[in-house]
Chain A
Amino acid sequence: MGRVIGIDLGTTNSCVAVLEGHEPAVIHNQEGGRTTPSMVSWNADGEVVVGAASKRQMVTNPQRTVFGVKRLIGRKASDPEVQSLAKRLPYKLAAAKNGDAWVDIAGTLRSPQEISAHVLAKMKRVAEDYLGQRVTEAVVTVPAYFDDAQRQATKDAGKIAGLTVRQILNEPTAAALAYGIQHQHNQRLAVFDLGGGTFDISILAIENGVFEVLSTYGDTALGGDDFDRVIIDLLAEEFKAQNTLDLRGDSVALQRLKEAAERAKIELSSAMSTDINLPFIAAGPQGPIHLARELERGQLERACKHLLDRLEEPITKALAAAHCTPADVDQVLLVGGMSRMPAVQERAERIFGKPGSKGVNPDEIVAMGAAVHSGIMGGEVQEVVLLDVTPHNLGVKVTGDKMSVVIQANTSIPTRAKKTLATTEDNQDLVRIEIHQGEDERASKNRRLGVFTLGDLTPAPKGRTKVEVSFTMDADGILEVTAVEVGTGKAATVTIEASSGLTQDEISSLGQRVAR
């Protein structure tokens, strides 16, 4: 069997690692970087450029350069988060025929799966060059708080890239695995993962080599991009006040602002102040206008306070669900590029009452954990194993649009749970089982995963006929639902294939183009 690679498919940057002997090793890309920008550009002649080369085009080719597509994958165009994102993107979004959020590149609609596949294919090539052999299998990480559709879409992206995704692994869990394999004594970890687009918090216990996730919470719309946006808005508002010109309306200016904002944010992690210089950012009636100003760390932190505040609730919830107090946590792992920001570290320290663990590379540890997991699957790593949880409630819709939860969030998987339902009408001969995922009490506010019916029920007064619904979720998060009429044993089963909006044919034809 060939090697399985571990890929951290990030919002901003991606990273690939393999297991070398017993140690995960990060692989350098062809440009010498240990991480690769998760960016894809289409040139005017149709050529596709990925990674650092694409990032260089950000300013010259903004409408055809896609970044941060992870914030779109598996989501609907009508999703409020997508809508608010769309206003600030230099590239255009469009709704696919099933309502998914896609990207419009010069009139061609492209799915986030296809765009992510280009990044995955690049990581695959990086690994192949290093290993000197073909690679067809991968462990790919996603934010722990991703729902079924987002996971499935990521799997499809792998397929398009010519990779069988052996496991979709949660990012904080991967980080804990990479850390814990070096520090195997029994302990409790909190993984605080603030990346480019998402925030995850997971509480884990390591006990005799078993890594058990106790709880996971998160915010799939909180990350480095939002901090960049705060800086962009700060600069643009100030500029508008002085020049009555909104730079955000011009895609080239917006792209330059974004680049400058990201750089300033990074510099302010080590320096107390930084200069922002954007000559010729706009043309005014009296000639070109320049943007030049100093930005201080304190200013940035004050402007980002509302974002920092949003870190607290998921952490509080995760600790409660794990039946932990901050004092019960032995180590706090800070993961994701945003965890370099001093204000973020201070916030984490304030909540947990201890500083984050040193000696963890926040950009690489997730990919390293994915590589470790590939070793668990391949048998190279025998001494540890992972017990993860499902991050969202799973249930069925019942009368009154209520969500009747069958598997609770933070249940360790694989798991099987059952619930008995009764008919609501006399002589009802059919029940419709609608499966939903999410935390809202109203089923319709949650994501619908699938629906099926069980027919030919025994005629009886309402409430007399009972149907037992059984949910089985495997370790990879795939859900199978069976409904059985109690007494007669009549049954129907469905495996939930969360549709990522692409058919198998579309996946394979895209695959021929992307994986070349």
Chain B
Amino acid sequence: MRISRGPHAALGVAELSTPEQVRAAFLELTKQFHPARFGRLPADVQRQSTEVFLGIKNAHETLMRSLGASTKPGRSTPSGAIPAIAAEGSQSMPVAGKPAAPVQSRTSTGPLPRAIGTQAPPAARTGSIPVTRAGSPPPARPGTPPQDRAARAPTPALGIPLARPGTPPQTRPGSPPAAAEPAPRLPADAFDEQAGLEVAKALLARRDWSTARQALHALAARVPQSKSYRALLCYARGREAQAANKPEDAALEFQRALQLDPDLRDARTALAEIQRKR
């Protein structure tokens, strides 16, 4: 999840998206990343998933407000009472009846995303989701099916706060078309590697290959020196290809995984399975 690259990137929508597109992206991500999905995993993973989802939610609220749209289905006017991000700076201190102090710490978050205007507060600044500048979306990859704009925008990856803006997206030939994968790096303090790995493993165990692939991609991007993460990433891609009935692509990915990590037994098993079928 490129939460740290601004709300558009967090939701995986293009900068000029309509409220309907933003909303659709939010709903799709909610289905994937709502903390209930991780409710049976260890507490630290659940915590991480809450942070991730809060990032998605804030991005949605920020964008919908900037578009003058409601954050709830079927409301005609934006609600003024969504405290998730609204509280900062806007609450006057009720004790002494004095106006609230200007909030100083905003400077630490860098410039606000261009799209959201001056009144929009930065998305949850504490925790591990720093708001930085919204990067322009990575270019759509050749061969992307011509769907609506939301679909052409970058596909969101798992919500581990990723991304230093400006890292160029890497295009890898041969990867499945859905996997628009810029490979940015994380600010060092904003990431719990262990929790990220737990999330990814849980997704693999659940055979949710595409989400697992996104999670592993985030992980591998964060720790580029780790061969085992990249191996797992190739394995997940292989499984995804296999599920999409592309055994050749799958075999290639499994081989790559084994080159990176010869001990990855799952990849070996999966590869043997494909070769047997041939």
Contact = CB atoms under 8 A, between A and B. Distances in A.
A463 B98 contact: yes
Interface in B48-72: 50, 53-54, 57, 72
Contact of B126 (A214, A324, A422, A470): A470
Interface residues of A, number: 60
B88 A418 contact: yes
A482 B72 CA distance: 28
Contacts of A470: 126
Interface in A134-190: 137, 166-167, 186, 188
Given A208-B24, A210-B31, A424 B95 contact: yes
B35 to A, nearest CB: 4
B223 interface: no
Contacts of B37: 376-377, 379, 385
A420 interface: yes
B83 A167 contact: no
B83 A422 contact: no
Interface in B68-119: 72-76, 79, 81-89, 91, 93-96, 98, 100-101, 103-105
Chain A at the B interface: SS class: strand
Given A205-B74, A416-B127, A398 B57 contact: no
A386 B31 contact: no
B41 to A, nearest CB: 9
Interface string A462-478: 11001010101011100
A476 B50 CA distance: 10
A415 interface: yes
Contacts of A258: none
A504 to B, nearest CB: 16
Interface string B1-31: 0000000000000000000000110011011
A411 B126 CA distance: 19
A416 B127 CA distance: 10
Interface in A104-120: none
Contact of A415 (B36, B57, B76, B208): B57
A482 B126 CA distance: 10
B262 interface: no
Interface string A376-416: 11110011111100000000001100101011100110111
B196 to A, nearest CB: 18
Chain B at the A interface: SS class: loop
Contacts of A4: 40
Given A212-B73, A323-B72, A408 B50 contact: no
A414 B94 contact: no
B164 interface: no
Nearest to B35: A475
A122 to B, nearest CB: 24
Contacts of A167: 36, 39
Contact of A466 (B50, B101, B206): B101
A317 interface: no
Chain B, interface residues (CB within 8 Å), range: 35 or more
A383 B94 CA distance: 44
A414 B73 contact: no
A506 B93 CA distance: 42
Given A420-B91, A475-B50, A414 B103 contact: no
Contact of B89 (A209, A399, A407, A420): A420
Contacts of A418: 87-88, 91, 126
A373 interface: yes
A474 B98 CA distance: 32
Given A470-B126, A475-B50, A421 B93 contact: yes
A387 B93 contact: no
Contacts of B54: 414-416, 472
A328 to B, nearest CB: 7
B46 interface: yes
A404 B94 contact: yes
A474 B35 contact: yes
A440 interface: no
A212 B72 contact: yes
Given A1-B40, A414-B35, A486-B103, A398 B94 contact: yes
A512 to B, nearest CB: 25
A167 to B, nearest CB: 6
* Residue among A214, A416, A424 with the highest chain B CB neighbour number at 10 A: A416
Contacts of B57: 412, 414-415
Contacts of A323: 72, 74-76, 79
9 contacts: A323-B76, A323-B79, A377-B39, A404-B94, A417-B83, A422-B98, A472-B127, A484-B126, A487-B105
Closest 6 CB pairs of A and B: A377-B39, A417-B83, A379-B206, A205-B73, A475-B35, A418-B87
Given A379-B206, A463-B96, 19 more contacts: A167-B36, A186-B73, A207-B73, A212-B73, A323-B75, A324-B74, A382-B31, A383-B31, A386-B36, A406-B87, A411-B83, A412-B57, A417-B85, A420-B88, A466-B93, A475-B34, A482-B126, A486-B101, A486-B105
Interface of A: 1, 4, 137, 166-167, 186, 188, 205, 207-210, 212, 214, 323-324, 328, 373, 376-379, 382-387, 398-399, 402, 404, 406-408, 411-412, 414-422, 424, 462-463, 466, 468, 470, 472, 474-476, 482, 484, 486-487
